[in-house]
A and B are shown apart, each in its own frame.
Chain A
């Protein structure tokens, strides 16, 4: 019996290959998209949960009040960890992790900058679960000048060799502040290779360097020393709140009188490890680069968006499957009737058709898993994640997927199983003329649903793209075309010779200008404080700042609204400021002109400077944000980038020249450069990724929805085959029949539009609230996707109906 069913099912699929492919592929695509998005969402939600005892691990953060303001920092003095370990019995372990900025890694002539390089205490492997591939986690970082590297670094620098026991050269440009002995390239011994960091941890390492060369350094481990991310793992059963209270005034216990003399207050508090990704957005002490979170914090909004999109695509896929299955099963009305005639009971029919439908759904699921497996590497590459299909292997998700397959299978099989099987075989055997009408309400609802969802996605997609376009095209207040940026990476040697580099480079005909600065638009790191008078620190004002040479403003075509730009009579300008328009009112001046000649103190350095000019607001930090108050100064000790203006059409030439010159001037430092417009666009990466993903998904959705419509139309066309045939016999032209059926579809599409537009409008407006400068949602935003969907769907309808109407009427009439 089962064999008989299977035979029919398989032959049916083979006979209608096109239909079966579309049907199975549509559902498989929906499920695959949903699986990938689910993995992505899961990845976000499981941040740092994989560490053993993760719920007992906390990061120590600091709330610092100084006369100039308040900060919250995820980094604390390295003394904190020492004090906690020696004085707090509740601690199982504690570790300091200190990021190495612009660290360099070199072996046998192969060298590169490495962003994921950290110093760490050897306890790191007891606090965090970092699996070793080679080496011993208990001894790995105990000795000074030892290092543990990730598998990918090992592969890059050692290939198939065993790196353990070998040496590698590392450079930390900031080490000079503490220990001149280690300021250049230093030889380290590799004591371990660990697995690459998964994507669901905020601490993404590639190179973990023993902190032993810093441990014991008086300056480093003082309460006023550098900042290290400090994690504690509490013993089981220890109350975190009580523990937090114990360490809150730790600094004051040790340095109380000193701190109050400085007018400082420091409170320590605990951040649960697993909450860092979403809940912690600390900026740290912003004067220095690289303070703040290790990685850009997660955003719940995008998580919701991706969850919703994933579900919507799944819903479209399921609706499509149900629609097509139902439409197709009308063709099998005769089979159902015949089976009854030869003695099939109703439950046997129900069993057969539900079973068949569930089986096909299960096949789609298998296809979906294959698809997801194939697509995951691409997605991982694209989104920078390490998602794997196995990550979905836990009871809830397996049950959810199984339930889904069962549900979709049953709903899709309902029509033949329940509707057709309950109809008298005398009706179904005559053809399908009167058998079908009962299913069509369901089908119509589904088509409206599918198109509604597709249009919704399409409208949101258009909004995202409009917003991106808006951010790109809106006056950003400076020019970013043809600009090549060479970062100095805090290399003291490069920084000290920036003028040589500059003059050598501008000499070439492919380079029309060059300007040095502390940072470039789109790469913002620093801020500083200004106050009106020395000694009176209240109220000091925090502003962003940029340090640049006199070429900077003309090169970037930044407008001056009052006063003058920096001039080449350098000494003078080391004593002067420029501010932007936003800073004018922020600092309390009535107009740009009124600000000129005012003298302000730079709180941190204690230098007084005069405001000599006011620039127009330029969007140095991207259009998500309003332009914040900014001051500019000319101080070459802070320069960290050289911007080159490349002559049009000479990019390749310029690149070759710049790289050659660089290697000539700085033979031991790897060359790096990026184009400003790319880097600037990088700020919109989240938005752009979402835009691209949504384009893909709404395109898919629309395609699948059209397939669903095709299903509905062929369903009705078949139902009405006789009507069409008779009309043809009576002489009605094909076009009339086509028209009457197209009108019906058009009504459905219109209905979808009516449902989709307000919802999409609401969602899109809500999303746009995230931006300071937004595009308008206009008639086009809504009209374009709806129009497109309408054209696409009507084309589908016309083609399908036309074919039905052109069919030989004798075929349809044969059974009467």
Chain B
């Protein structure tokens, strides 16, 4: 599903290039549940963003479902992303001005899904995540855990093939974190490919493959 060949990412600081990722080569098949681990600053988020097409690699090749992402134009890439991916952040990024219901609906709007179908999809998701009672609340009226749940729900609402999660439990306490992890496990069993960045061993235990990054180098792949 995902093939990364010699992916590198650097930022220019002054006249030198500071490498954040170096020559990452990685294959990910459909149905996998992968944890990317490493200390803070190792490049986990960067790698995830590149895979999620939120950021470009500086060097290397990336193909997704056989499409050479590094050669695609922005529009093509956006539609690939829209079609197949969901993204979850460490800090629950919801649109502040929209209610839970509207936040969940937004990705569907961009996918141009018809009104009635949209409605039933949002209702299903609200049901599934047991947040029906919260649907008319604004993000700032929810607790952190609830917000993260909505974030997860929004990433999943359009049934993405690939779920990318950047420290999804980082701001949650352990009980909430466990709930999310259990959910991931269940999703994975249902067929969703999941890549999460984490530095918690507890979380990585849920996955079936662990990739360790250190200083931008791929250290191990189990």
Contacts and interface: CB of A to CB of B under 8 A. Distances in A.
Given A341-B54, A342-B106, A424-B55, A8 B95 contact: yes
A1 B108 CA distance: 10
A429 B110 contact: no
Given A7-B102, A426-B49, A343 B95 contact: no
Interface in B51-84: 54-56, 74-75, 78-79, 81-82
Contacts, number: 66
A4 B105 CA distance: 9
Contacts of B102: 4, 7
B97 A12 contact: yes
A219 B183 CA distance: 112
Given A343-B110, A348-B110, 16 more contacts: A11-B98, A335-B96, A339-B95, A339-B106, A340-B54, A341-B87, A342-B110, A343-B78, A343-B107, A343-B111, A343-B158, A344-B110, A345-B82, A424-B55, A426-B54, A429-B89
14 contacts: A4-B109, A7-B98, A11-B97, A12-B97, A334-B93, A339-B106, A339-B110, A342-B110, A343-B107, A344-B110, A345-B75, A345-B82, A346-B78, A814-B91
When A and B form their complex, which 5 residue pairs have the shortest distance between CB atoms, in order from nearest?
A: A343-B82, A343-B110, A342-B107, A11-B97, A8-B97
B152 interface: no
Interface in B91-133: 91, 93-98, 102, 105-107, 109-111
A610 to B, nearest CB: 92
Interface in B16-54: 45, 49, 54
Most chain A Cβ neighbours within 10 Å, of B49, B98, B110, B111: B110
A337 B89 CA distance: 12
Contacts of A339: 95, 106, 110
B154 interface: yes
A426 B97 contact: no
B109 A1 contact: yes
Interface string A428-452: 0100000000000000000000000
A425 interface: yes
Contacts of A12: 97
Contact of B110 (A8, A334, A345, A815): A345
A20 to B, nearest CB: 13
A558 interface: no
Which bracket fits the contact residues of B?
Answer: 20 to 34
Contacts of A338: 93-95
Interface in A1-57: 1, 4, 7-8, 11-12, 15
Nearest to A429: B93
B81 A343 contact: yes
Most chain A Cβ neighbours within 10 Å, of B56, B91, B95: B95
Contacts of B97: 7-8, 11-12, 15, 335
Which bracket fits the contact residues of A?
Answer: 20 to 34
Contacts of A346: 74-75, 78
A815 B170 CA distance: 12
A87 B107 CA distance: 86
Interface string B192-221: 000000000000000000000000000000
Interface in A645-661: none
Most chain A Cβ neighbours within 10 Å, of B49, B89, B96: B96
Interface in A112-170: none
A815 B56 CA distance: 21
A343 B111 CA distance: 7
A8 B98 contact: yes
B55 A426 contact: yes
Contacts of B45: 426
Most chain A Cβ neighbours within 10 Å, of B74, B87, B89, B93: B93
Nearest to B82: A343
Interface in A324-354: 334-335, 337-346, 348
B54 A424 contact: yes
Contacts of A348: 110
Contacts of B78: 340, 343-346
A12 B98 CA distance: 10
Contacts of B49: 426
A348 B82 CA distance: 13
A128 to B, nearest CB: 60
Given A345-B78, A346-B74, A815 B109 contact: no
Contact of B95 (A15, A335, A425): A335
A335 B96 CA distance: 8
Given A4-B105, A7-B97, A342 B154 contact: yes
Nearest to B106: A342
Contacts of B89: 429
Most chain A Cβ neighbours within 10 Å, of B49, B78, B111, B158: B78
A339 B110 CA distance: 9
Nearest to B158: A343
Nearest to B83: A343
Nearest to A344: B110
Interface string A218-242: 0000000000000000000000000
Most chain B Cβ neighbours within 10 Å, of A8, A15, A339, A342: A342
A814 to B, nearest CB: 7
A685 B139 CA distance: 60
Nearest to A348: B110
Interface in A413-435: 424-426, 429
Contacts of B98: 4, 7-8, 11
Nearest to B91: A815
A544 B156 CA distance: 94
Nearest to B112: A1
A339 B79 CA distance: 13
